[in-house]
Structure 1
């Protein structure tokens, strides 16, 4: 963990040696020599860090821990040298517009101060080096954790699979159980392995504990010894694998590989290939903590192991804690024991550890002490629980160790914004020295993905605003355990976060007293969310090394921000929803700023002018700032990668200078309702990948150059047929993914050609598609043909999963709905007034939800709708079961007022086991129809139906009145039936209400 900070410090020293930090330092005699000596000694120390990190948590006297803390503090101070220099003068010449008067020279470091500081650092390092000799550290690899076995040359064998060379996989299926340490993966595998049904299914069963080093020879040797029933002295991999192949040939086997860690496919391939001689039906069961390992091994099915309930944790814990206790003791301690079990948060290992701890505690006071303590503070946890998590932790690189342990700063169950987390890591130096713009952010995302794949994070949520996650409480306790000698609890227990970790402080809702914060002058990260602030606390002015500041959701006055404008090392500043009407013009002096969020603040034009001087900005959030105009100077922020202008409903146009932002990857324009178009030279934004433009009803002036944005991955809405916007502009945008909404205004035959040019069928990454028609042509010759052909031309890729069709004015649905959408899961048809029939949607093999709204042309729903071939009297015989709507779970038919009849199947067909109709249907809802009766035989065939709702349909309501209607007996087998002649649904799901709101400005 220290290695990550140390590498940043070495980079800073390199900057000084190579005269990057400034001429002033070089004027001090002897400074460069001291710096070279510092760098040399730090490099030497770095070579023993691997051993020191391994020994820090087994060191009972904590002396190694203290030594590492001293080294870490010194490394941070080295990194802060540049922070001191930033007060001497602005570094880049491009910032010469900043008047020197804006710097407070009474607080800056002079050149002599810097020289003294460097010499002081050298003296401290000399003491650290001298103390190092006491511990006898062994030399290791520099800058990384490596295992000698893992670095050996891969052993070659004669086993190869020709089908894999041709790109095909073969051999036994691999099933993986994935979960964090202590969740019960091995226990579950043992239960499977010893189950009688498994024993009877496989001729051979082999159990191998792999552990952290994937030693192919040891694994092959273990398999051989189990299969042959005796030990072997053979150590040649080739010979061992040949014996495995011979032993399992033409036999069905189960191989359990418990606790696999390696992600190196080359180590797994020889063993996998030799297992192909087994009989079909053989299986390999893998337990691992990493999704990447599961993928590497070719897993066909992954089981993510969930958490136990609090009740189950208590059942497990009490078996251990109450062992040998009298009944009266159990009764006395039971209630508090259940509360202690809740601390396990579903982790079986935690329940066992706490049960073992409580087994030897007899008094209520002792049990209450366990209840009131954090798990990381309990000695038993350090001995029995955390070593399981340390295994995963020790597999991480030093930088990722630092990133993970830093997360202890958040409160338990906190929803962590991943973008903010990465920026905090940057501020603390966890991601190394700065490289190209955006490089640290990419590195941070890679680190997060690795930690997520290894189960350090959970509850991942991804939406248009980015990604969020949580930490399991036990994992959070482990992070606190790692940082326990660097943490200070704030005295006020009402704070959501009471943790101050080294150079970070995270507070929420209430502000700690300033007396507690006199010692935090080295803070790099400060978050004071929702603390009711109006003024900036005085101590913030002293935080000259601060790089990350979040004051969101406070009520700050403009005058309060003067302090912020003097924190020249700030890289990230969040002032979201601070009720700001204006901001100090000196904000433009924060030339180190990379990320600025002013969302929800009402900004005057002069503030925007000041922001446009922040040339290092990479992300700028101005969402909901009541902006009316974007200044042309915004085009000067050429490092900008993300620009959020969403929810500014009065912006009518974007300046053409925005096309100067060649690094821009994300542009957010959601709900910019007055925005009429995009700049003519939009094609210059070659790196633009995400255009979030939902609810931009007037965005119709789209230049032809839009079609050149071939890197575009996200386009939420495209308005075609008005202004200069044409569907054909989508032709080359084949990387579009996720969701796409098309608002289409048809004029005539030329629009059919544009629909053909769009080539939606080539956009394989689009999974959700809305096709919305507005105010189509009426009364012209051939209008029906135009509408039908245009719809036919909009055929999407077969991988589409969700489809909405709104306002279609044609008379028939396109053939591609049932002929090509083999992966479609959800279909909604709304306001298609002129279609009199529904296509054979029962053919769709994956359809789970079908909604039909306002289809007033529908009068008769025939058997063809079921999608099963046959004539009017009987189905065509078949050797296998024919299924209509094989996966349909929800069917809604609403506001089809002219719908009078739903054709039923015959009684003979209903009892024929060769045919199945809607076998998975759980819910049927019919609202405001003209039906007089339901298809009884069909509903009986839908044997899984649990909920039937009939509302707003007078004839049906009379016929099927609960218990009294003449047709009630035909529905009485359905568990939940609701019948009401007048009630409409009082509250529709939000997504359906939203999609039913059409942008009025698009109407002509």
Structure 2
């Protein structure tokens, strides 16, 4: 941890000094010598940190010395950031003056007489200069003492660990360990227990337990059983809950409900939650996995046992635990005690990862050392995976011998020294990766990590070292991939649609290890037990106070907090809270279900270091204007339930904002964006944008998007139509935003006449999307035609949704080569013919073979109330005029909803082997389909 801090601090000092040199007036004067001395001390301690970090595990004195160094570096980092922030504010102030709307003559006249605010501003600058200079001198003295103290420990000078090259991970380096070595017989026994029909005498619920030490593969085996096709088909309801310690009854109950409904319940009373569970499983054969149970208290389990009796015979509960007494307490009918793997099975786990994608000759030369390393795994699959991931990146015998001979194997720690292989992997990480890994300890066990969530938080903490010509977000994702391929994240969750990995989870032992390596920095309060602790040196805090519990004022001593994740229940004075934690980089206010956060205090401006602000369940009508003083803010996330907050007018001052994310629990289109929003040229994420507004002179025009060319991902635009003309639409320059992959264009809902319908056509034509777009939605469009010049240029488009009101004919969408999903909704469309397929007589003469909609898999027509005819051109392959035409060869699903006047389907559909054909609210077609 210390090495990363020191390295970052040196870079920040160099950066802020370079930036100040660009300013016309130096902000901090007379500390040049102190800065040079400070950099010298930092470089001196940096040379010994690699040895110190390893020795702290066994030498308490070295650990204390490192803690002193950490505290000093954190304080210095805050001072440097304060210095840098002042320069950012100065630059913003100059820009504000340059874009002032006041007449030039008035400016010149006023410039002779300094305003009171100008005078106070100059006084504040003088005070700030003195304050920063004083802090630098004071902290330099402390660091000087720490540097001298290092000599007593006789540290070895080592190569700079921070110079280690962080290579971009190769996708082939990640090995999917879904197959489990050496557990075939146990897997068969477990499946037999789960799939048994059960007898009337069988106790209900029927509990099966997997018992074994940490890292032995209990959860992996449970996952294998849970995902088995036979198990999936056998049970009507399937639930997975990570229990961990402490056993939180309400949390467990909520996760059971969420597993069934895919929605988190808003109720908080345990009894109500248990009744909900009973109602959900009544009459159903269910399978529930309770992963990582620790509690031996039967009173904690008894309410669940009673609630889960509302099932049918044959339901199963599978428990994984490290303690046999837990299995007894839960009344297990069957218990499987997992033993360690055999040497050969352990070798298979290790070698599958270590030698993945290697040349066979090279792996054979290292097999002797590899088997000796595997012997030290003592049959634990987690140890074998971790070491396999580590050795995959080491290609010489010297490197393998060094790992084999490490003194870390002599440690006696949790469960057969399982931390030894984790320590070896941890010390092999670069210093930024170490900081990224240990930060994860702030999250609870069993937590599913979203990649973007971690990426944004690591950025906010300053852990990511940017490279020239590379986006910092890409660098951060590379960091994450490096931790994944080194097995620090192992369990993952795939998207059901595209099969991509969306979420990752840490193994419980890895999480324990992360907590060990960060125990003086990360802390969690989730009950009344820990409220008397001293939080003075804690940096990252997750605060979950029970609803009726008193807010712990003792945490106000944590003046150095960098992260606060606060589950807010409405009983805390946030203004007071905001006065204390002025060093925060990350603030997450998560209002609990049943409570609302009505107002964000104006004191939010106190967080001058803040980079990441997230507010969940915000119900205020506006955000405070003072939020615009957070000039370091990079990520702003607002999740609202019942209200749409008005955005502050000064948002254009947030020049470092990279990700602005709005989330609503219902369909909205009236968020008022302020003028000047287009100055946020650093934005990478803008998921929502609206041009609507009551005051025409104050509203944010669509042209504000013109210079936001770094936008990526998804952009949803509302308010197109009467308030937007073709010139303004063209001004948005959407075609230059090549990072966008999803675009949603929503026109006004208001009923409009012929002139406005013509304007919709012009506006849509001017809104040319970027050429790489993959997903496009056009909503509430009222033009009579929809064939903008850019439509057929979207050769990468995969999904298209059209919600149009007055269309007379469809565009030739059959020409889009990669389109695989198409949904069309239109009130007045009467006929669908060859124009939809994009086939013309001229086309037939020029090409002997034509494939129309070559990749279309899903086609939906919805709410075409006037649609009468769908004219086709024959079979799937029709030979016409020496031209073979193939239509929709990949189509799997066809849905026709609310199209009551449609009389028949085209002939070519009859030859396509559809996997799903669904027709609703059309008695004519439904009857014909039944007949034949």
What secondary structure sits across from 1:526 in the alignment?
Answer: strand
1:86 CA drift (Å): 5.8
Residues 1:39 and 2:50 aligned together: no
What secondary structure sits across from 1:335 in the alignment?
Answer: helix
- C-alpha distance in structure 2 between counterparts of 1:333 and 1:621, whole Å: 44
More off after superposition, 118-127 vs 799-808: 799-808
| Contact preservation (8 Å) 1:504, 1:525 | yes
Q: How does 1:276-355 map to 2 (within 5 A)?
A: 335=328
Any stretches of 5+ residues in structure 1 without a counterpart? 151-173, 193-306, 315-329, 357-377, 859-895, 903-1004
Q: Specify which of 513, 533, 545 is matched with residue 478 of structure 1.
A: 513
Q: How does 1:513-528 map to 2 (within 5 A)?
A: 513-528=551-566
1:191 CA drift (Å): 12
Q: How does 1:88-237 map to 2 (within 5 A)?
A: 91-96=89-94, 110-133=128-151, 134-145=153-164, 178-179=176-177, 187=182
Q: Specify which of 801, 810, 817 is matched with residue 741 of structure 1.
A: 801
Q: Specify which of 686, 691, 695 is matched with residue 643 of structure 1.
A: 686
In the alignment, what sits opposite 1:506? 542
Residue 413 to residue 334, structure 1, CA distance change in 2 (3 Å): closer
- C-alpha distance in structure 1 between counterparts of 2:693 and 2:81, whole Å: 41
1:92 CA drift (Å): 3.3
1:81 CA drift (Å): 1.8
Q: Specify which of 573, 590, 597 is matched with residue 637 of structure 2.
A: 597
Residue 784 to residue 705, structure 1, CA distance change in 2 (3 Å): closer
Q: How does 1:411-430 map to 2 (within 5 A)?
A: 411-430=444-463
Residues 1:70 and 2:68 aligned together: yes
Residues 1:544 and 2:582 aligned together: yes
- C-alpha distance in structure 1 between counterparts of 2:539 and 2:33, whole Å: 29
Residue 414 to residue 432, structure 1, CA distance change in 2 (3 Å): same
Residue 119 to residue 598, structure 1, CA distance change in 2 (3 Å): same
Q: Specify which of 619, 622, 627 is matched with residue 659 of structure 2.
A: 619
| Contact preservation (8 Å) 2:856, 2:891 | yes
Residue 125 to residue 685, structure 1, CA distance change in 2 (3 Å): farther
Residues 1:693 and 2:728 aligned together: no
What secondary structure sits across from 1:621 in the alignment?
Answer: strand
Any stretches of 5+ residues in structure 2 without a counterpart? 98-116, 188-241, 243-286, 294-322, 347-376, 384-410, 750-759, 844-849, 878-884
What secondary structure sits across from 2:736 in the alignment?
Answer: coil
Q: How does 1:344-493 map to 2 (within 5 A)?
A: 380-381=413-414, 383-432=416-465, 439-457=471-489, 458-460=491-493, 468-488=503-523, 490=525, 492-493=527-528
In the alignment, what sits opposite 1:657? 704
Residue 312 to residue 668, structure 1, CA distance change in 2 (3 Å): closer
CA RMSD of aligned residues (A): 5.4
What secondary structure sits across from 2:822 in the alignment?
Answer: strand
Residue 491 to residue 571, structure 1, CA distance change in 2 (3 Å): closer
| Contact preservation (8 Å) 1:707, 1:731 | no
1:36 CA drift (Å): 1.8
Please give the TM-score of this superposition, normalised by the length of structure 1. Answer: 0.55
Q: How does 1:53-68 map to 2 (within 5 A)?
A: 53-57=53-57, 59=58, 61-68=59-66
- C-alpha distance in structure 1 between counterparts of 2:290 and 2:672, whole Å: 58
Residue 683 to residue 84, structure 1, CA distance change in 2 (3 Å): closer
In the alignment, what sits opposite 1:760? 816
Q: How does 1:711-722 map to 2 (within 5 A)?
A: 711-717=772-778, 722=783
Q: Specify which of 656, 665, 682 is matched with residue 732 of structure 2.
A: 682
More off after superposition, 406-415 vs 635-644: 635-644
Task: Summarize deviations over 1:842-891 as a string: whole Å, max 9, x none.
Answer: 765xx654445456555xxxxxxxxxxxxxxxxxxxxxxxxxxxxxxxxx
- C-alpha distance in structure 2 between counterparts of 1:417 and 1:822, whole Å: 37
- C-alpha distance in structure 2 between counterparts of 1:389 and 1:814, whole Å: 65
- C-alpha distance in structure 2 between counterparts of 1:791 and 1:35, whole Å: 75
- C-alpha distance in structure 2 between counterparts of 1:822 and 1:742, whole Å: 22
In the alignment, what sits opposite 1:610? 650
Residues 1:769 and 2:769 aligned together: no
- C-alpha distance in structure 2 between counterparts of 1:898 and 1:527, whole Å: 59
More off after superposition, 817-826 vs 633-642: 817-826
Residue 26 to residue 412, structure 1, CA distance change in 2 (3 Å): same
| Contact preservation (8 Å) 1:8, 1:433 | no
**Higher relative contact order, structure no. (Cα contacts within 8 Å, ≥ 6 residues apart):** 2
What secondary structure sits across from 2:821 in the alignment?
Answer: strand
What secondary structure sits across from 2:802 in the alignment?
Answer: strand
1:717 CA drift (Å): 3.9
Task: Summarize deviations over 1:590-613 as a string: whole Å, max 9, x none.
Answer: 2222222344285676x5323233
- C-alpha distance in structure 1 between counterparts of 2:324 and 2:13, whole Å: 64
1:48 CA drift (Å): 3.7
| Contact preservation (8 Å) 2:56, 2:63 | yes
- C-alpha distance in structure 1 between counterparts of 2:479 and 2:382, whole Å: 35
| Contact preservation (8 Å) 1:661, 1:685 | no
In the alignment, what sits opposite 1:669? 716
What secondary structure sits across from 1:693 in the alignment?
Answer: strand
More off after superposition, 650-659 vs 537-546: 650-659
| Contact preservation (8 Å) 1:528, 1:552 | yes
More off after superposition, 88-97 vs 643-652: 643-652
Residues 1:633 and 2:671 aligned together: no
In the alignment, what sits opposite 1:6? 6
What secondary structure sits across from 1:770 in the alignment?
Answer: strand
In the alignment, what sits opposite 1:945? none
1:810 CA drift (Å): 0.9
Task: Summarize deviations over 1:384-417 as a string: whole Å, max 9, x none.
Answer: 3233444544453321221121011012233445
Aligned residues: 666
- C-alpha distance in structure 2 between counterparts of 1:542 and 1:669, whole Å: 38
| Contact preservation (8 Å) 1:488, 1:499 | no
Task: Summarize deviations over 1:444-500 as a string: whole Å, max 9, x none.
Answer: 222223334544444446699x9654434333223212212434453834899x998
| Contact preservation (8 Å) 2:747, 2:779 | no
Residues 1:15 and 2:26 aligned together: no
- C-alpha distance in structure 2 between counterparts of 1:395 and 1:40, whole Å: 26
- C-alpha distance in structure 2 between counterparts of 1:36 and 1:342, whole Å: 65
1:550 CA drift (Å): 1.9
1:507 CA drift (Å): 2.0
In the alignment, what sits opposite 1:810? 870
Task: Summarize deviations over 1:205-251 as a string: whole Å, max 9, x none.
Answer: xxxxxxxxxxxxxxxxxxxxxxxxxxxxxxxxxxxxxxxxxxxxxxx
Largest Rg, 1 or 2: 1
Q: Specify which of 876, 888, 903 is matched with residue 834 of structure 1.
A: 903
| Contact preservation (8 Å) 1:508, 1:531 | no
In the alignment, what sits opposite 2:108? none
What secondary structure sits across from 2:566 in the alignment?
Answer: strand
- C-alpha distance in structure 2 between counterparts of 1:660 and 1:899, whole Å: 53
Residue 538 to residue 798, structure 1, CA distance change in 2 (3 Å): same
What secondary structure sits across from 1:178 in the alignment?
Answer: coil
| Contact preservation (8 Å) 1:639, 1:661 | yes
- C-alpha distance in structure 1 between counterparts of 2:839 and 2:807, whole Å: 11
Residue 724 to residue 20, structure 1, CA distance change in 2 (3 Å): farther
